[in-house]
Structure 1
Amino acid sequence: MGAGASGLVVQARDAEGRDREAGAGVRDLARGGRIPLDAYYRIGSDTKTFVAVAALQLVAEGRLGLGDTVDEWLPGVVNGNGNDGSRITVRNLLQHTSGLPNYTDILFGDPEELTPENYRAKRFTARTPEQQVALAMSRAPGWLPDPENPGAETRWAYSNTNYVLIGMIIERVTGHPWEQEIHERIIEPLGLRHTLTMGTSAYVPQPTATAYLQFPGRHDLTDTTLQVDGGADGGIVSTTTDMNTFLRALMDGTLLPAEQLEQMRTTVPAPDFSGGAEARYGLGIAWRPVEGCDGGVWYHGGTSFGTVSETAVTPDGDVSVAAAVFTTRFGDPGRAAAQDKATYEMVERAVCRKP
């Protein structure tokens, strides 16, 4: 809490399945209260790992191919300003090697638009996947993958647009919304009774804690608990207990056949991703080396307006940790970096018994 977060919850699960839980800070800065250990929270981009699992299950079933192009499933959707869906495969989308513009960079790219007043005015505004992709298409791509072998692309740049498109492709393949596929393929089989997709709801279930954001140019924290936030790129709410169950089931082979799990864990360098310069990104999940864990850890992480989700799991799925921090800082890079560093260290100590 020395880094300035209002509150956090964390749960670590050991190889025997025993849980250790802790909370710090307060439930609400004005009203106080102990932060609930079973708090619901927005997991942000940790959603991408769920969506990648659903896509890879479809690959295992022979209904979708990692080499399929976007145009094969969504003809004409990725087009304009040099963007070309015939040059981008499902693998490129899952691995962030597509070169596609990130629609959230466009949506939130102007610091003058990132104000408490604009947040309050737009927090109930929902955007369709088609609108999100169209926003991305207003910019030129960072690159186009090699037309002869696009799946071999190793240039990496994080783009939420990639997973909006994966959600659209899942719906085109199955005839069902991506949310339904996540529920039927992951949430229900694993008994994740506290994991849900929010759709256009701006409300997180109780119990939870107040989420706070420091906007650029301000020193105070704004309550950003209410918001319509994300789709297939970041629209899941969960708890630390359910996140640990999901991560372990992923790594121990419960959710994916060996071939698809191997594909998921085939990585490219992602030095700009959270977790450090040695981070590598697979298909919806990342890896980084950590002292005390011979095989490093697999993780993702997610940030939304006011909440940070962090996770880590050993390659065999035996030890895992999930944490939620209820403060984000867009207006103070130094304090944001200190908070991120403290969170990573907490997670790594729990999983790898770092000194």
Structure 2
Amino acid sequence: MEDAIGGVTAVSALEPTAELQRGLDGLHEAGGTGVIAVLETPDGVVTARAGVGDKETGEPVPYDTRCRVGFVQMSFMAVVTLQLVAEGKLSLEDTVERWLPGLVTGNGHDGAKVSVRHLLQHTSGVYDYTHDMETISSLNYVEGYAEKGLRTYTPHELIDVAMGAEPKFAPGTDWGFSYTNYTLIGMIIEAVTGNDWREELNTRIVGQLGLRDTVLPGADPEMPEPHARSYCGYNLAEPIDVTRFNPTVVGAAGEMISTPADLIRFFTALHEGTLLPEEQRRQMYDAMPAPQLAAMWPGACYGLGLIRLPLAEEKGYFYGHGGGFVGWNMRGGISEDGRRRMYLGVTGEITVELNSKMNDLVARHLSATD
């Protein structure tokens, strides 16, 4: 058997239960091309899969497949930011204007009214540049992928796209997800430290925790081996292979490549207080209702780069961050008591049915009683 543990420390490696395997098979039947899951409990680690990792060859998803985790990366970026706060180098109430003067302006945007806290919690109102479906067409259309899927974007280009539209609401008055928020967070980290945000994240988290399979690829469109191939039709066309993709289009908001096992290690360290002093960790976990997310994740509340979701049967909550990139979707987190941890990755289109099944599967397995 391949390496089913993928770096997670546990008592033993276990075979998937019939219930877990049925759940993963159900995700494949609901439209997921390939499925991979890692579940860690006090008894050990289970790694399971379903579907195929390559539609042409029929090969299964590698147990230690690398995944494009997308905006799960926001939790990592929030930790780096809060570490800088703990070190006295930055304040959550600092404005964007202080660190990036003259950048957030025009069409009603005002960086002097947007704080670091607003960015981290998605309460800034700053326009999400990915909603410009023509300019950022690689995220929105098959034709856009063919034309711009390998194009390199700079953070300033992405911010310029956002500044070309009006903000969604005044800072602090509502909640609204925006990739632009974390593009700005990456730029602020660089302004504070004098280093590329990737260097800070790699030093402070990836290296510190030994996340051996986590990569920040920059403009490199290739996936490190081993990996499943990813497919997407943007819900409008026949799915195509989108495995090669230049992720600078999401950059600091979601270019990360990782594995379910590495994500579990990160969220475990966060939950146990390894990465942040208690004051900053408390603020990260202090979540508010996120109605925009609730359509996809019922009951979702958002902290500072962290999502709180209800467990099955009203057994409490779990904490993590869903996400994904074109052709990949990730769900998972850690139970409130810290005893159960799970991350799940699915390649292919995300439909309402598939999304619901992914959410239910994670919530059930994180709420199980040992």
The 1:297/1:109 distance shift into structure 2, 3 A limit, reads: farther
The answer to whether residue 320 in structure 2 is matched with residue 299 in structure 1 is yes
Question: Counterparts of 1:263 and 1:328 in 2: how far apart (Å)?
Answer: 34
Quick check: 183-192 or 104-113, which moved more? 104-113
Return closer, same or farther for 1:112/1:237 CA change in 2, 3 Å cut-off. Answer: closer
Identity of aligned residues (%): 37
Q: Is the 8 A contact 1:240 1:324 kept in 2?
A: yes
Partner of 1:232: 252
The alignment status of 1:181 with 2:210, answered yes or no, reads no
How far is the alpha carbon of 1:86 from its aligned partner?
A: 0.3
Asked whether the equivalents of residues 122 and 175 of structure 2 are also in contact (C-alpha less than 8 Å), the reply is: yes
Unmatched tracts of structure 2, length 5 or more: 1-27
When the two structures are superposed, what TM-score results if normalisation uses the length of structure 1? 0.91
Asked if 2 retains the 8 angstrom alpha-carbon contact of 1:285 and 1:299, the reply is yes
Residue ranges of structure 1 left out of the alignment (5+ in a row):
146-152, 330-335
**SS of the counterpart of 1:322?**
strand
What is the CA distance between 1:2 and its match in structure 2?
1.6
Contact 2:138 2:148 in 1 (8 A): no
Aligned to 2:87: 61
* 1:315 and 2:341 matched: no
* 1:154/1:268 contact within 8 Å kept: no
User: TM-score under structure 2 normalisation?
Assistant: 0.88
CA contact (8 A) 1:84 1:144 kept: no
TM superposition shift of 1:205: 0.5
The partner residue of 2:143 within 104, 113, 117 is 117
Counterpart Cα distance in 2 of 1:271 and 1:79: 27
Q: Deviations over 1:162-190 (max 9, x none)?
A: 00000000000001111001111000110
Q: Deviations over 1:288-316 (max 9, x none)?
A: 22225633111211121100111121134
Partner of 1:148: none
Shift of 1:112: 11
Q: Partner of 2:199: helix, strand, or coil?
A: helix
Distance 1:19 1:277 in 2: 28
Q: For residues 293 and 318 of structure 1, do their structure 2 counterparts lie closer, same or farther at Cα, with a shift above 3 Å needed?
A: farther
Tell me the equivalent position of 2:229: 210
SS at match of 2:253: coil
Q: Is this contact kept in 1: 2:86–2:280, CA < 8 A?
A: yes
1:100 corresponds, among 126, 140, 143, to 126
Q: How far apart, in 1, do the equivalents of 2:290 and 2:32 lie?
A: 27
- Is 1:11 matched up with 2:38? yes
In structure 1, C-alpha distance between the alignment counterparts of 2:298 and 2:262, rounded to whole Å: 29
Measured after TM superposition, the shift of residue 154 of structure 1 is: 5.0
Distance 1:227 1:247, change over 3 A: same
Which residue does the alignment assign to 1:149? none
The answer to whether structure 1 residue 35 and structure 2 residue 53 are counterparts is no
Q: After superposition, where does 1:234-273 map in structure 2 within 5 Å?
A: 234-273=254-293
Shift of 1:30: 1.5
1:286 aligns with 307
What is the aligned partner in structure 1 of residue 158 from structure 2? 132
How far is the alpha carbon of 1:237 from its aligned partner? 0.4
Amino acid at match of 2:208: P
Partner amino acid for 1:29? K
Kept in 2, the 8 Å contact 1:7–1:327? The answer is yes
Which moves more between the two structures, 57-66 or 289-298? 289-298
Q: Distance in 1 between matches of 2:125 and 2:163?
A: 12
Contact 1:279/1:286 (8 A) holds in 2: yes
Q: Residues 108, 187 of structure 1: CA spacing in aligned structure 2 closer, same or farther, 3 A cutoff?
A: farther
**SS of alignment partner, residue 203 of structure 1:** coil
C-alpha separation between the residues in 1 aligned to 2:211 and 2:136? 38
**Match in the other structure for 1:150:** none
**Could you say what secondary structure the match of 1:27 adopts?**
coil
Counterpart of 2:366 in structure 1: which amino acid? V
Aligned to 1:160: 179
Q: Measure, in 2, the Cα distance between the counterparts of 1:299 and 1:93.
A: 18
Q: 1:333 aligns to what?
A: none
- Aligned equivalents of 2:91 and 2:191: distance in 1? 13
Tell me the alpha carbon deviations over residues 312-352 of structure 1, each in whole angstroms, 9 at most, x when there is no partner. Answer: 211343321011101124xxxxxx00110111122112211
2:91 is paired with a residue whose SS is coil
**Equivalent residue of 2:349, what SS?**
strand
Aligned AA (1:348): A
| 2:243 alignment partner AA | T
Aligned mates of 1:88, 1:235 — CA distance in 2: 24
SS in 1 for 2:52: strand
Counterpart-to-counterpart distance in 2, 1:303 and 1:188: 23
Aligned partners of 1:108 and 1:135: how far apart in 2?
11
Question: Which residue identity is paired with 2:348?
Answer: T
After superposition, the C-alpha distances for 1:137-170 in whole angstroms (9 at most, x for unaligned) are 000111222xxxxxxx351000000000000000
Deviation digits for residues 230-263 of structure 1, max 9, x if unmatched? 2110011001111110010011101111100110
Total equivalences in the alignment: 339
Q: 2:84 is matched by which residue type in structure 1?
A: L
Q: Is the 8 A contact 1:114 1:215 kept in 2?
A: yes
Distance in 1 between the 2:155 and 2:70 partners?
A: 16
Structure 2 counterpart of 1:20:
46
- 1:351 paired residue number: 366
| SS of equivalent to 1:34 | coil
Counterpart Cα distance in 1 of 2:89 and 2:218? 26
Q: Which amino acid aligns with 1:64?
A: L
Q: Does 1:52 align with 2:78?
A: yes
Distance 1:253 1:115 in 2: 41
Question: Does structure 1 retain, via aligned residues, the 8 Å contact 2:71–2:322?
Answer: yes
